[in-house]
Amino acid sequence: MRMRPRAVVAIASTIPVVLGGYMLFDGMHALLLGSYFGPGIGPWAFLVSLVGVDPASMAAPFVVEGSLWLFFLVSGSYRWWWAWYGRVVTAIATLWYLPFGTVLSLVQVAVLVRYRNLFRS
């Protein structure tokens, strides 16, 4: 099934805004107010604690990763040759963010790879 180019671009642009924007917001919330937004930490906390990382110390990485999502989205709109690679790498690097980030990252990688000609200059 072929999707219309506008729909593909809309999907691949919405994911960074939603995921990157939320990660940036949540990380800034934790840095400024001392706790993540919402009723508790998500399932990703168990995963990062398995590798010896304290979930409370993930606020700065959230800010960085959220910013990268948005940075590569904007870079892609300028058609910079490296933006597609940055978008793919950032999505892969967000697979740990269970379940929200994992699902959206997988969709993002699939769309970017399947329709790479739309996103690469």
Q: What is the pLDDT of residue 3?
A: 84
pLDDT digit string, tens, across residues 50-83: 999 999 999 999 999 999 999 999 999 999 999 9
Number of H helices, E strands in the chain: 7, 0
pLDDT digit string, tens, across residues 16-42: 999 999 999 999 999 999 999 988 888
Domain that holds residue 26: 5-119
Distance CA 121, CA 110 (A): 18
Q: What is the pLDDT of residue 38?
A: 86
Distance CA 73, CA 76 (A): 5
Query: Is the bond leading into 99 cis (omega within 30 degrees of zero)?
Result: yes
Q: Domain tally for the chain?
A: 1
Using pLDDT thresholds of 50, 70 and 90, give the confidence band for residue 1. Answer: low
Q: What is the pLDDT of residue 40?
A: 83
Q: State both tokens at 17.
A: 């805004």
pLDDT digit string, tens, across residues 108-119: 999 999 999 999
Q: 37's torsion region: left (phi>0), alpha (psi -120 to 50) or beta?
A: beta
Q: What is the pLDDT of residue 89?
A: 98
DSSP state of 56: G
The pTM assigned to this predicted structure is: 0.94
